[in-house]
Amino acid sequence: MNKINPEMIVLGRELRGLTQAELATGVSLNQATISRYESGAVEVPDEHIRTIAEFLGRPKSFFRWPDQLYGASCMYHRKNRRLSVAELTVIHAKVNLLRIQASRLLKQAKVTSKYSFYRMDQAKLGSPEECARRQRQLWQMPSGPARNVVSSIERAGGMVFRCPFGETRVDGVSQWPLDAPNMPPIFFVHEDIPGDRERLTLSHEVGHVVMHHMPTEGDLEDEANRFAAEFLMPADEIKDELRNLTLPKAAALKSYWKVSMQALIVHAHRLGSITDNQYQYLFRQLSTRGYRTCEPCPIPPEEPEMFKDVVEFHQKKLRWGMSDLSEFLGESEENFRDKYGRNFSNFRLVG
């Protein structure tokens, strides 16, 4: 049997949003002991791991997983600047758990896709916009709006999760670890954001994973934004349509291109289709009408299928029961049932 992996104790604790002191109180130990267990300085006795597992709502086997956690440096975020470190820690923990669960499931199931993800050298290609154009070519996307960004990612073997990030101000996170060549890029997107924002967030994250594997001197977030804008609204096709932009026209373009009115106005300004004054006027109009927080013409979110299908493959083809799968994914049966729906034969992924 594998040894206890101290990183899994950290992960279990962070998934619950607890500090070491709070975990110590919960399991009637002192904080220094928890600290030593988490640093791997001492072996964790079996009775303590049982108590910790019960308190954190995880099976004991979860703490023996050999997986490695990735920190913020391996992840890209589309987030609000006011996000606190504690909130970000919980999100990283959720992301790490889902990545590990996916990698465990993919050891049993092989996913074949028509297209692939490639790491691009932005310095050679010249600009994020050129990378986006190449990406559309590689995935053989037809001209016009990207019909379904989630589908494009899954067709290239990427995995998308809609995650319950709660009230936090993170829209999306992505990971494509360099040291795990068999692991596809994984994208996590807030489950409560509207479809237009989901599409922009995912395109932004695609920009990160294909362009930012090497340190660059540029502003990574700005580059990912430019990639996303070109990926969703190719300049050659949309530039003329963005002239004489008004809010009703932006609303009509929104339903056609499936991007927010705000993104269209920003893109129009960046492409020089509207002047600084028009840009400021349109944003003032958006604010006056309350569209900065709730735009008209909502775009429905796009649903990922891959993770759900991989779980279903284990259930239907490999004949795994609920207890096998919940144990395998490091969830209590109760948690597993909550996540995948009460009717196991027709479960629903909620995060």
Partner 1 sequence: MNTTDFRGVQPNLFGPRFQRMSQEEMVDILEPHFPVLHDSVMGPWEELVEYRTNDKNFIDMKEGDCAVWLTMQSQIRARSLLDGKPGFHLFDQHQKLVIVIEEKIAVTIKKLTYRQRKAADRPRLERSNYSTPRNVKFWDQRRDSGIPDYPRVILGYELLKEITEVRLVIAYSRSQGKHVDWAYVMPPQPSLVPVGFTPQLAPVPMDDRHDDLDKKRFSISKADTSEQAAGGEVEGTR
The continuous run of DSSP H or E covering 61 comes out as: none
Residues binding partner 1: number (CB under 8 A) = 37
* Contact pattern for partner 1 over residues 23 through 42, marking x by CB under 8 A: --------------------
- The least distance separating partner 1 from the CB of residue 67, rounded to whole angstroms, comes to 17
What is the sign, positive or negative, of the torsion defined by CA atoms of 192, 193, 194, 200? negative
Nearer to partner 1, 109 or 220 (CB): 109
Nearer to partner 1, 123 or 256 (CB): 256
Q: Compute the distance between CA of residue 251 and CA of residue 261 in angstroms, rounded to an integer.
A: 6
Residue type present at position 223: E
Q: Which residues are registered as beta bridge partners of 189? A: 162, 172
DSSP 184: P
DSSP 273: S
Q: Compute the distance between CA of residue 76 and CA of residue 54 in angstroms, rounded to an integer.
A: 32
Question: Is there binding between residue 224 and partner 1 (CB under 8 A)?
Answer: no
Nearer to partner 1, 13 or 314 (CB): 314
Query: What is residue 230's three-state secondary structure?
Result: helix
Find the binder of partner 1 among 309, 337, 341, 344 (CB under 8 A).
Answer: 309
Find the binder of partner 1 among 29, 138, 183, 297 (CB under 8 A).
Answer: 297
Q: Which of residues 249-278 bind partner 1 (CB under 8 A)?
A: 249-253, 255-256, 261
Question: Is there binding between residue 284 and partner 1 (CB under 8 A)?
Answer: no
Taking contact as CB under 8 A, which single stretch among the options 48-56, 88-96, 271-279, 317-325 is the one that binds partner 1? 317-325
Q: Which residues are registered as beta bridge partners of 76? A: 174
* Contact pattern for partner 1 over residues 182 through 201, marking x by CB under 8 A: --------------------
Q: Closest by alpha carbon to 220, among 69, 88, 73, 70? A: 73
- The least distance separating partner 1 from the CB of residue 69, rounded to whole angstroms, comes to 24
Alpha carbon of 66 to those of 269, 306, 339: distances in Å? 49, 24, 24
Question: Is there binding between residue 106 and partner 1 (CB under 8 A)?
Answer: yes
Q: Compute the distance between CA of residue 119 and CA of residue 65 in angstroms, rounded to an integer.
A: 29
Q: Which stretches of the chain bind partner 1, using CB under 8 A?
A: 106-114, 151, 154-155, 157, 241, 247-253, 255-256, 261, 296-297, 305-306, 309-310, 312-313, 316-320
